[in-house]
Structure 1
Amino acid sequence: MAFTHSDFDPRKIVVADVKTAYLTALRSDSLYIHPLKDYPDHEKFQDLWLFNRALYGLRDSGNLWDRSRNKTLAAAGWVPSSVRGIWWKWTGKPEAPTSRLLGILPTFVDDFAILPIDSSASVPSSVPTPPPDLFPLPPSSRELPSEPPRLLTAQEEKAFRKRLGCLSWVARDTRPDLSQGCNQLSHHSSAPTHADADYLLSLLHYA
């Protein structure tokens, strides 16, 4: 994604878009391959094919794409910043007193989205705060409980641990979402409460 100033034309980023990265990356040297055995008239092709594209299976394919991307960004006026993987665009020399930052471009993703960084557009929109009841949080996350949680009886604890163990075993390799919930409950298995038991039942219903 690219964070750009309000007066930066987002259409200029089109030249840096990524299209089938490993198939269109520029290659600094030539690569010759044998024709495929199942290719029609394979015997007629005695010479090697000249192959000028990078493939996933090539050892240097990642570097090929990086060089191609960096060359494309440099041609569009972007320069690498002091942070590895981050490029930026200035009106003049980077970080010069007379230069103004136009855009910041992380290269960790292959699809670019234009987001404004102009303070006049972003700061006022972040000033208003939503009403406190617009997105209510669970009471446990906002205030301390008025009374200590009720612990399960010995028989209820045994049933709780048995259900938790069965669900953990089933969800371990098949349901990462349930496995995460089981991991959270396992921290309370030594002294489970009624709230933990209700949470476990909700996981079972969710499954």
Structure 2
Amino acid sequence: MYDSLRKVYRDVCSCERCGYAKTRKNTVFGEGSLHSPIMLIGEGPGAVEDETGRPFVGPAGKLLDKMLAAIDLDRSRVYICNVVKCRPPHNRDPEQKCVDQCIGYLREQVRFIRPKVIVCLGRIAANHILHEKQGITRIHGEIYERKNFIIIPTFHPSALLRNEELKKPAWEDMKTIRQVLKNETNIYEA
């Protein structure tokens, strides 16, 4: 267990626990408000994120920014990270052995940020955070109450870029997220 998020960050930057370390350009730790009541978790970095070392800055990130703005949130007021901190080659789903090596870093991020609401962006994040294997079309928009936080899965923004039909259910999910945030946090009072 770490005594600071900075130490977790340093370990991620030097991590070579799995094969993704050999092909990455940068690790992508996470960014945003360290005191945010909401944490958004995706599956792993894409090509633009690998280049910049920042999460959700490519086309999916631009859409995510618009989704947040639609519920009156700015990206600077949330914390955004991924299940794995290095880009899986060819944008494949993260391999389980690599997730197993990275998941401890994510747990530490959750422990230090202490969000009241976790939004899982896509199936990979939802399955690993909820510890159950289900399709995102089945569980999106559902509210899962846990001891220390609420989990709400929704579609990954990249899925919305590929399939326009998912935008309406994703908007319904965002309205659910906004309502939960209003009920459980003071993020809209600032």
Same fold (TM over 0.5): no
Greater relative contact order structure (CA < 8 Å, 6+ sep): 2
TM-score normalised according to structure 1 size: 0.19
> Where is the helix percentage greater, Structure 1 or Structure 2?
2
TM-score normalised according to structure 2 size: 0.21
